[in-house]
Copies of this chain bind each other. A is one copy, B any other.
Amino acid sequence: MSGADIKCYLSEMGRWQPDARGRLEEAALALYLERGFDNTTVAEIAQRAGLTERTFFRYFADKREVLFWGSGMLRELLSKAAIEAPASATPMGAVTAALDAAGAMLQERGQRAKQRQKVIMANPELQERELLKMASLASTLGEALRQRGVGDPVATLTAETGIAVLRVAFARWVEKPTNYHLPELIRESLEQLQAITTTRT
């Protein structure tokens, strides 16, 4: 680390607030649920979190990003888990590994993931954005399968189906009491999917 780097680093440290991101997120979700997303301002979020607007904009580009900053992480996680699944795993086996990883991450986010979902379901514009994010998760997952050597249309079909399973399990989890675990609901949905497709006629 050069002297200039260290100076820069210490300067960052000075501006750093312990878990400012977390406090801003918590405040934003509470306000979005209380007043609606459209009726909440960045100034109000910062005030509720006991921070300045300037601090808000160091973590988030706008009030919508508070809801969507995790999508990129989720995408990377899904991709990594699918690619790193054992070489012997079937396409659906690799997707299951990816869904397990995503489920564990969302379970870890707990109450915040549930609050976020409620905010999104209350606002058509946010719902549209969420749908597009889900579609991009499916594309990423399909790409991960192709990297494993899975050809199309199987790669796309497996990825799209996997994301449908994630959405359905996630929607159930949001409605359930806290003792339900998302990874288990995902496994249940995968079993239901198998039962559904084998009883086509």
Residues of chain A touching chain B, judged by Cβ–Cβ distance below 8 Å, are 89-93, 96, 128, 131-132, 135, 153-154, 156-158, 160-161, 164-165, 167-169, 171-172, 189-190, 192-194, 196-201
Q: In the bound complex, do residue A158 and residue B196 qualify as a contact, i.e. CB atoms below 8 Å apart? A: yes
How far is it, in angstroms, between the C-alpha of A89 and the C-alpha of B201 when the chains are bound? 7
Contact A153 B199 (CB under 8 A): no
Pair B168/A199 contact, Cβ less than 8 Å: no
Q: Contact between B196 and A200 (Cβ–Cβ < 8 Å)? A: no
Query: Is there contact, CB below 8 Å, between A157 and B91?
Result: no
- The smallest C-beta distance from A54 to any residue of chain B, in angstroms, reads 33
Complex Cα distance, B152 from A189, in Å, reads 11
| A-B contacts besides A157-B165, A157-B196, 5 pairs, CB < 8 Å | A92-B199, A131-B131, A153-B192, A157-B192, A197-B197
The answer for the CA separation of A58 and B167 in the assembled complex, in Å, is: 40
Number of copies: 2
Out of B128, B157, B160, B169, which one reaches A132, CB within 8 Å? B128
* Least Cβ–Cβ distance between A122 and chain B, in angstroms: 17
Residues of B within 8 A of A189 (CB): 153, 157
A190-B157 Cα distance, complex, nearest whole Å: 10
